[in-house]
Amino acid sequence: MIESTISKLAARYTRIDVEKLVDVIREMKQSDDNILFLPTNVRRRSDIVVGPENVASLNAADACGVEDADCKLDIPGADLMFVYQSTEMRRLYRRYGHLLIVLDAIYRAERYPLPVFFLFVRTNVNYQVVAVIVLQQETRTSLFNALQTISRWNPDVTPRFALVDFSEEEVSALGEAFPGY
């Protein structure tokens, strides 16, 4: 089971074309959009270290039938983070983000090799995306760091309520990034 998890992680991490991504981000940064990109240190299968605590959580997840347990492993050096908020997203977040935010993960659809999160707010018409987060691993720490980045970009916004999937990582990260929600 550990070998199959390492193979799955290696396939996911090695498909990331960091150089091309850096070029695209460099072009995007010429606007007033907020962009944070932290590249990963995992480039090859040999860079993936699965410690005893990860083996225990994988075994427990396998026993319970949890499908995406490999995304929640804390792999040293696997800390890729991309956070994006356009000028229009920022305007909507500042206008409508004081009451309710919605954090939704979409990577479980198998189309995306990395955890992709959208942060939504309810506007006067519908729900709108106000930030995009891409992480290499879906841990509380990674998600907290991304949400804290959004909070730093918008210090005047403190949401009162949040809606998330049933995920301990997401609930915990939101609670830390937005105290008092």
Residue 135: the pLDDT is 84
CB of 130 closer than 8 Å to CB of 93: yes
Residue 21: the pLDDT is 66
Residue 3: the pLDDT is 56
Query: Is the Cα torsion angle 15, 20, 22, 24 positive or negative in sign?
Result: negative
Tell which residue, 155, 104, 152, 107, has the closest CA to residue 128. Answer: 104
87: left (phi over 0), alpha (psi -120 to 50) or beta: alpha
Per-residue model confidence as pLDDT tens digits over 68-83: 544 554 444 456 788 9
CA-based max dimension of the chain: 50
- Quickly state the pLDDT bin for 93 (edges 50, 70, 90): very high
Residue 19: the pLDDT is 66
CB of 158 closer than 8 Å to CB of 180: yes
Residue 153: the pLDDT is 94
**Mean pLDDT for the chain?**
74
Per-residue model confidence as pLDDT tens digits over 40-70: 654 444 444 445 554 455 455 454 454 554 4
Highest-confidence segment of 13-27, 76-90, 126-140: 126-140
Rounded Cα distance between 79 and 116, Å, is: 14
Residue 130 pLDDT exceeds 70: yes
- Quickly state the pLDDT bin for 97 (edges 50, 70, 90): very high
